[in-house]
Structure 1
Amino acid sequence: MPVLLADDEGLVRSGFKVLLDVEDDITVVGEATNGAEAVERARATRPDVVLMDIRMPKLDGIQATAQITGMAGLERVRTLVLTTYDTDAYVFDALQAGASGFMLKDAGPAELLHAIRVVAAGEALLAPRITRRLISQFTARRTVSQVAEDRLAVLTERERKVLALVGQGLSNQEIGAELHLSPATARTHVSRAMAKLGARDRPQLVVIAYRTGLVSPDG
């Protein structure tokens, strides 16, 4: 699994590289010291995952993520964003830019490796410890769209329920258990909701769930 490291701090990149290089299924294929380099390296190496810092010179991690996710030929590249939790006010924007998940910079090695593998497999890393709280925090400052009902009108009642559960950070297995469905059926409903709403991936479904008011920032 090829991984690209994007962080302006050399010690951080070195630490990640040491950790990842000993894994049999992970290979560090490049490093970038700013967002512009991250875009260039992603185009050149086509990694499965970009481990992306938010705060970098020249081009920040959000702008770099948006460019990578919108670039032809890089549709399969996933971005795992690094955040310092309470101090980063950009997480919601990163989701909109196409980030597939978030990791805390002080996460342990096992957490980081798990996150990379989850994102590489095409799933979203929506860990309740960070993403749900941050999304709630920053979407609470935004006005719910007046066209929310019109946007959700394309969904069936079951798909609305599934979207609400996705917004709460539940996995397909957890959604299935909640609605008495098999995980495969839950995944199908998630995929249909994604297609109907024009969402690129699961994190963007979370954004829609909050922005339309289907999920409350307080719960």
Structure 2
Amino acid sequence: MPGADKVLVTPKRFGNKWGYDLAVTDSRASVQDYLNALNRVIEEFPLSRGRKKVRACAGCDLCCAERAPLTWIDVLRLQEYLGFTDLSLQEVLDKVGYIVVDGPVVDIMLRRDSDERCIFFNRQNRLCTIYPARPLVCQTFICCPGTRRAAGVRETVVNCGEDELVRRWLMQAREKGEKPGIHEGHRPSPRLVDWPPNGFSGKKHYRQVLLKEICPPETWRQVYSPAN
């Protein structure tokens, strides 16, 4: 994989279980480099699954019933994969997302069905029907142990990506002179000013988002280990 060596994901022993650690070796590493490295380890290494005694994730649906926050780029990828390119952001989110607003707080998640499983989960073969375009949170989750710095990078990428999605959603509503459409709310009062631009702003692909630009200084200090 081109550029995968900019991010190193390595197996790490946690007692009698195998998990992983993460280090960024190049300051130009992108979120796509992170995804490439992590996906390769999940697919190739015998990591210890904590929720189910299996050696691979295929066919296990336990994480498909959990909250899955969406990023701005996730929605762009889903929009293209599902053929929704002619729809507005609000229209796409009405189909694939679930928008919850509690006062000023906004959470935009992948939509789930009445059985609390993701709408894209195939109940017959127990596999994902949008696997090539699955969201970042799905790509980066595995129920095995991980180091604190690995968890910090994942949290940062997910949060920044969702923040940009919320910003775009609010911007589109303002441009149209409409109230943003929500699916569940309690005294909703979101304000665009609370979602300033970040490292995801103006980007359409994960390869364009640099980890250094979105990681807080402390997280970057912990995870950055320049290659000799």
Tell me the TM-score normalized by structure 2. 0.27
Select the structure with the greater relative contact order (CA < 8 A; seq sep ≥ 6). 2
Larger radius of gyration: 2
Tell me the TM-score normalized by structure 1. 0.28
